[in-house]
Structure 1
Amino acid sequence: MRARGLIITLILLTAAAGLIPFAGASSGKPLIVTSIAPIASIVQDAFGDSVDVVYIIPPGADPHEYQLTASQIELLRKADVIVTTGGHLPVEKKIAELKEEGTITGEALFLDDYKREGFRYLPEHWYNDKDNPHGIWLDPTNALAVAKATEKALESVDPVHSDVYESEYRSFEERVNAIVEAYQALAGKNHTAVIQMPSDQYAIEWLGIKAVASIKPEEEVPAIGVDDLVPTARKADIIVYALDSPDQMKDAAKELAAKSGKPFAEITVFWSDRPYTEVLIENSAAVVKALGGRPGEILPVQRDDVERYVALSLVVGIVLGVALGVILKK
């Protein structure tokens, strides 16, 4: 048991490794500028102290309304690589314009760059199967696509250190895949959920949980009344909402859980200065815990839940070989 505890601790530490405080551009390392903090966390988790990473949109600001400042445009001029969520945010559209006119000379990554690496939009099943551009980073497949495209961009701007970037990416890929294999096995298949907002979809569908309805169907669409969603929620397995969402939306999700008699999972959609793999583990543990909950039960995840689910995955042999390989490489 003591040896197993050590392995669990090592896995958790390995998953959390690589994220340093987002630094400036004075170190001589490649400067990567991202549009939002979660994308920065992917890049920093993947490439560690081999790069400097900063993000543009401050935590708490509405990314759908935020506009670039003059100082941020100057920062973008200095960037070696610019990493977006794909290009749909106003800031990212402006970045594309600046790149096209030659104001920005660094490598700028958009949707097509990610699609070449396996990126996928999920269809909004509740809204005419429209491509969902919100929260794409919560899906580990997309996180790996962003990291891989960034690796290629780094190799282009700094070919001397291409072996470093390749090695860092491979380590990140192994850590992410170990987490994915573990939690997919624990979650099972053929589950459904009612989500609070479209971004939540990317935190659950890779686990085999289909989002069948959303309290707020889209950015431009008003929220659906809780009573109208109760019949759908009663047929679902869980309710999912974001801890960092507006209080009104959180209250609606809690009310829906109470009226439908379903447990719900609290996840994180936006965060800053935390490793991507740490948030991936916490979100996954919260969802798995909710799937095993009693009707009407609120089940926030605790750190011992994370250790419990990683331990369980080890017991059933899901990630032991991969995880130990990652640890030995470290």
Structure 2
Amino acid sequence: MICYSLNVLKASSMKSFIYLSLLTLALAACSSTPNNTAVAPSPAASGAPTQAANQQEQRKPLVVTTVAPLTNIVSNIAGDRMEVKGIIPEGTDSHTFEPRPSDTDILSKASLILVNGLHLESPTEKLANSTKPKDTKIFEMGSNTITQDQWMFDFSFPKEKGDPNPHLWVNPKYAEAYAKLAAQQLTALDPAGKNYYETNLKNYMQRLEDLDKVTREVVASIPPENRKLLTYHDSWAYWAREYGFQVIGAIQPSDFKEPSAQDVAKLIDQIKKEKVPAIFGSEVYPSKVEEQIAREANVKTANTADDELPGEGGSANAVENKNPQHTYIGMMANNLRIIASGLGGKPELVDRLVTANVVGPTAVAANPTK
């Protein structure tokens, strides 16, 4: 009887052992993953942005600008503490630009709006005033750089129309003023970033001072009798005043249309009389009339730029830029080469300039001119 009970107990224990073993194997099989099945990594493991990071990115103040040079200058100071967005596309005539429906949404979210002023972006400013948040400031960089008695009027911007020449940024000294004003406005919006903006300003000012220095060297290399500009678009007035050039005329009339046959004839006569060796067109305003004038006056011609940055694959926003030539300083360096080549100067002097931004993926640390 005792033997029988022991045998039953042994059999029962064996069954329990087998059952538990099978259960363990089944659970292991369910929890394992086949070799050909990918396991989705967690956001933290994969490096994907966390919700907190996304929220932090979304909290960056939005600074809205207009033309590309202004966007580039401001973003070199703002760095990655602000989102800087320019609403006038490169290659667009900033004088005739009309804001698009999508710009309404951008302006309605702006924490700060930085424009050139001097009547350049009147439609944009009008829209901004009607759509911006109540506490958002619209600040005119140009109007806070020079006073009205320093405004310049010329062929494309006659005084009787009341609209001054707005292209202050073509003068590197005024670009320096823009950078300082940008730092002031950004600091007022984000006091915690004061030291960051001051550092960026210091580095960028060094770059702009180098541009001014090289510009003066290039101008000195041009024979004095050749220091005259006839351009398609009247955007060089403030540059000429700063560096001792004479603007003798512009091909484009004040209505921004093509000149009449009579205007063309006068320009050809003027070029011959002034003995100008070259005239300069515009990237934004390609014109066959310019080529005709150059051909009939027997002078060279080349295109300069005042609000279109050079090179492909770049962004005016320094933080997004992938081309170190696609900068405000890069644009002015190209202009200097073109002017020096056309007027008998030394374009190779420009090669000493560092054109890259001081922030962003293509940034180069601020160093003295080579």
Alpha carbons of 1:312 and 1:157: their partners in 2 closer, same or farther (altered >3 Å)?
Answer: closer
Aligned residue among 284, 295, 319 for 1:258: 295
* Larger Cα-atom Rg: 2
Indicate yes or no: 2:216 matched with 1:184: yes
Indicate yes or no: 2:340 matched with 1:285: no
CA offsets 1:236-274 (integer angstroms, 9 cap, x no match): 53311112313xx2x222222222233334212232522
Bigger shift: residues 277-286 or 136-145: 136-145
Whether the aligned pair in 1 keeps the contact of 2:218 and 2:336 (CA below 8 Å) is no
Bigger shift: residues 149-158 or 222-231: 222-231
Alpha carbons of 1:286 and 1:45: their partners in 2 closer, same or farther (altered >3 Å)?
Answer: farther
CA offsets 1:301-320 (integer angstroms, 9 cap, x no match): xxxx86x213579xxxxxxx
2-structure distance, mates of 1:42, 1:171? 12
Aligned residue among 200, 205, 210 for 2:246: 210
2-structure distance, mates of 1:78, 1:129? 36
Aligned residue among 102, 122, 126 for 1:94: 126
2-structure distance, mates of 1:182, 1:69? 39
Alpha carbons of 1:51 and 1:93: their partners in 2 closer, same or farther (altered >3 Å)?
Answer: closer
Deviation at 1:283, TM superposition (A): 0.9
TM-score (norm 1): 0.71
Which ranges in structure 1 are unaligned for 5 or more consecutive residues?
1-24, 294-304, 314-324
2-structure distance, mates of 1:94, 1:208? 36
Alpha carbons of 1:271 and 1:27: their partners in 2 closer, same or farther (altered >3 Å)?
Answer: farther
- Report the aligned-residue RMSD: 3.4
1-structure distance, mates of 2:128, 2:193? 27
Equivalent in the alignment of 1:300: none
Whether the aligned pair in 2 keeps the contact of 1:125 and 1:212 (CA below 8 Å) is no
Query: After superposition, where does 1:61-76 map in structure 2 within 5 Å?
Result: 61-76=92-107
2-structure distance, mates of 1:85, 1:280? 18
Equivalent in the alignment of 1:193: 229
Letter in 1 for 2:72: S
Equivalent in the alignment of 2:270: 232
Alpha carbons of 1:31 and 1:213: their partners in 2 closer, same or farther (altered >3 Å)?
Answer: same
TM-score (norm 2): 0.64
CA offsets 1:213-258 (integer angstroms, 9 cap, x no match): 1111323576253222112112153311112313xx2x22222222
Equivalent in the alignment of 1:59: 90
Alpha carbons of 1:105 and 1:213: their partners in 2 closer, same or farther (altered >3 Å)?
Answer: same
Equivalent in the alignment of 2:305: 268
Indicate yes or no: 2:209 matched with 1:169: no
2-structure distance, mates of 1:193, 1:328? 30
Indicate yes or no: 2:76 matched with 1:45: yes
CA offsets 1:26-83 (integer angstroms, 9 cap, x no match): 4543321112223212222344334321111233444344433454223223222211
Letter in 2 for 1:208: G
Deviation at 1:157, TM superposition (A): 0.7
Whether the aligned pair in 2 keeps the contact of 1:263 and 1:291 (CA below 8 Å) is no
Bigger shift: residues 164-173 or 47-56: 47-56
Alpha carbons of 1:194 and 1:40: their partners in 2 closer, same or farther (altered >3 Å)?
Answer: same
- What SS is found at the alignment partner of 2:204? helix
Which ranges in structure 2 are unaligned for 5 or more consecutive residues?
1-55, 310-314, 316-325, 354-364
Whether the aligned pair in 2 keeps the contact of 1:80 and 1:107 (CA below 8 Å) is yes
Letter in 2 for 1:244: V
Matched length: 277
Indicate yes or no: 2:122 matched with 1:82: no
Alpha carbons of 1:140 and 1:149: their partners in 2 closer, same or farther (altered >3 Å)?
Answer: same
Equivalent in the alignment of 1:31: 62
Deviation at 1:290, TM superposition (A): 1.2
Alpha carbons of 1:232 and 1:127: their partners in 2 closer, same or farther (altered >3 Å)?
Answer: farther
1-structure distance, mates of 2:197, 2:149? 20
Letter in 1 for 2:214: A
Equivalent in the alignment of 2:172: 140
Letter in 1 for 2:332: L
2-structure distance, mates of 1:219, 1:151? 35
